[in-house]
Chain A
Amino acid sequence: MSATDVSARATSGRATQSRNESPTAGSDKVVTVVSHIVLTIWSIIVILPLLWVFLSSWKTTREIFDSPFALPQTWSFDNYVGAWTDSGIGKYMLNSVIVVGCSLVLVMILGAAAAYTLARFTFFGSQIVYYLILAGLTFPIFLAIVPLFFVLKNLGLLNTLPGLIATYVAFAFPFTVFFLYPFFRGLPSEIAEAAELDGAGEWRTFFQVMLPMARPGIVAIAIFNFLGLWNQFLLPVALNTNEDNYVLSQGMARFASQAGYAVDFGQLFAAVVITIVPVLAVYIFTQRQLQGSLSQGTMK
Chain B
Amino acid sequence: MSANRLVFILVTLGLPFAFYTLFVLWPFAQAFIYSLTNWSGFSPNFEFVGLSNYTALLQNATFLKAVRNNLLMAVVIPIVTIALALALATMVTVGGSSTGAVRGLSRSSFYRIVSFFPYTIPAIVIGLVWAQMFDPSSGLINGLLTAVGLDQFRSFAWLGEVSTAMPATMFVIIWGFVGFYMVLFIAAIKGIPAELYDAARVDGAGRLRMTFMVTIPMVRDTIQTAYVYLGILALDAFVYMAALNPSGGPQNSTLTMTQDLFNTAFKKGQFGMASAMGVVLAVMTLLFAAIVFVVIRAIKGKDNR
Which A residues are closer than 8 A to B by beta carbons?
9-10, 12-14, 16-17, 19-21, 24-25, 28, 31-32, 35-36, 38-40, 42-43, 45-50, 52-53, 56, 64-65, 67-69, 110-111, 113-114, 116-118, 121, 123, 129, 132-133, 135-136, 138-140, 142-151, 166-167, 169-171, 173-174, 201-203, 206, 227, 230-231, 233-234, 237-238, 248-249, 252-253, 255-257, 265, 268-269, 272, 275-276, 279-280, 283-284, 287, 291, 295, 297-300
One digit per residue, 1 when the CB lies within 8 angstroms of any chain A CB and 0 when it does not, for chain B 242-276 equals: 11101000000000001001100110000100110
Stretch of B49-57, B73-81, B90-98, B215-223 that contacts chain A: B90-98
A276/B103 contact (C-beta < 8 A), A43-B115, A139-B28 known: no
Determine whether B101 belongs to the interface, using a CB cutoff of 8 Å to chain A: yes
A sample of 13 more A-B contacts (CB under 8 A), given A203-B8, A256-B127, A279-B120, is A24-B99, A36-B105, A68-B142, A117-B12, A132-B21, A139-B282, A174-B24, A206-B12, A231-B122, A231-B239, A233-B122, A265-B132, A276-B120
CA distance A249 to B13 in the complex (A): 32
Once A13-B198, A42-B115, A148-B23 are accepted as A-B contacts, the answer to whether A116 and B12 lie under 8 Å apart by CB is yes
Main secondary structure of the interface of B (DSSP, over half): helix
Q: Decide yes or no: A299 and B175 within 8 Å by CB, A148-B23, A255-B128 being known contacts.
A: no
B154–chain A nearest beta-carbon distance, Å: 12
Instruction: Write the chain A residue with the least CB distance to B141.
Output: A68
B202 an interface residue at 8 Å Cβ cutoff?
yes
Contact sample, A vs B, 8 pairs, CB 8 Å cutoff: A17-B100, A40-B111, A46-B114, A69-B143, A142-B258, A144-B31, A170-B24, A233-B124
- CB < 8 Å: which of B9, B20, B117 contacts A47? B117
Structural contact, B95 and A16, CB atoms closer than 8 A: no
Q: CB < 8 Å: which of A110, A123, A144, A268 contacts B19?
A: A110
Interface residues of B in 128-175 (CB under 8 A from A): 128-133, 137-140, 142-143, 147, 175
Provide the residues of chain B in CB contact with A52, threshold 8 Å.
133, 140
Bound CA span A42–B281, Å: 34
Query: Which residue on chain B has the smallest CB distance to residue A282?
Result: B120
Chain B residue numbers with a CB within 8 Å of A265 are 132, 138
Q: Tell me if A272 and B19 are in contact (CB < 8 A).
A: no
Is residue B188 contacting chain A, with contact meaning CB distance below 8 A? no
Top 6 nearest A-B pairs by Cβ distance? Answer: A170-B23, A35-B95, A68-B143, A13-B101, A147-B30, A113-B12
Option from A36, A149, A249 in Cβ contact (under 8 Å) with B124: A249
Binds A, one of B60-68, B230-238, B294-302: B230-238
B19 cross-chain contacts in A, Cβ below 8 A: 110, 166, 169-170, 173
**How close is B271's CB to chain A, nearest CB, in angstroms?**
5
Give the CA-CA distance A202 to B190 in the complex, in Å: 41
Is B26 interfacial (CB-CB < 8 Å)?
Answer: yes
Distance A110 CA – B24 CA, assembled complex (angstroms):
15
How many positions in chain B have a CB within 8 Å of any CB in the partner chain?
107
Looking at the complex, which one of A147, A170, A249 makes contact with B34 (CB distance below 8 Å)?
Answer: A147
Chain B residues near A47 (CB-CB < 8 A): 114, 117
Q: How far is the CB of A107 from chain B (nearest CB, A)?
A: 9
Q: 1/0 per position for B24-63, CB-CB distance to A under 8 A?
A: 1111101100100000010000000000000000000000
Given A146-B31, A275-B125, A287-B113, A38 and B88 contact (CB-CB distance below 8 Å) = yes
Other-chain residue from B12, B28, B30, B98 in contact with A28 (beta carbon distance below 8 A): B98
Once the chains bind, are B1 and A123 in contact (CB under 8 Å)? yes
Of B16, B91, B97, B246, the contact of A111 (CB 8 Å cutoff): B16
Report the separation of the CA atoms of residues A53 and B30 in the bound assembly, to the nearest whole angstrom: 44
| Minimum Cβ distance to chain B for residue A88 (Å) | 15
Contact A39 B105 (CB under 8 A): yes
Q: Across the interface, which residues of B come within 8 angstroms of A272, CB to CB?
A: 125, 128-129
What is the CA–CA distance of A169 and B41 in the complex, to the nearest angstrom?
Answer: 26
**A31 contacts B95, C-beta separation under 8 Å:** yes
Q: Does B184 contact A (CB under 8 A)?
A: no
- Once the chains bind, are A143 and B279 in contact (CB under 8 Å)? yes
Residues of A within 8 A of B110 (CB): 43
> In the complex, which residue of chain B has the Cβ closest to the Cβ of A238?
B266
Task: Report the Cα distance A223→B28, complex, angstroms.
Answer: 27
Distance to closest chain A CB from B285 (angstroms): 6
Q: Within the assembled complex, what's the spacing in Å between the Cα atoms of A139 and B32?
A: 12
Of B103, B119, B129, B131, chain A has the most CB atoms within 10 Å of the CB of B129
Tell me whether A49 and B130 are in contact in the complex, defined as CB-CB below 8 angstroms, given that A9-B194, A65-B137, A135-B25 are known contacts. Answer: yes
A144 touches which one: B28, B101, B194 (CB < 8 A)? B28
Rounded to whole angstroms, the CA-CA distance of A227 and B110 in the bound complex is 22
**Is B23 a contact partner of A28 (Cβ separation < 8 A)?**
no
Decide if B120 touches A280 in the complex (CB within 8 Å): yes
B-side contacts of A147, CB under 8 Å: 26-28, 30-31, 34, 275
The CA of A48 and the CA of B20, in the complex, are separated in Å by 43
> Chain A residues near B113 (CB, 8 Å)?
284, 287
Chain B residues with CB under 8 A of A111: 16
Chain B residue numbers with a CB within 8 Å of A25 are 99
B305 on the interface (CB 8 Å rule)? no
List, in ascending order, chain A residues with CB within 8 A of B262's CB: 145, 237-238
Contact residue among B143, B175, B179, B282 (Cβ-Cβ distance under 8 Å from A140): B282
B229 to chain A, nearest CB (A): 12
Q: Are A19 and B202 in contact (CB under 8 A)?
A: yes
Nearest B residue (CB) for A136: B24
Chain A residues with Cβ below 8 Å from B4 are 201-202
Q: B133 to chain A: which residues have CB within 8 Å? A: 49, 52
Name the residue on B nearest A6 (C-beta): B101
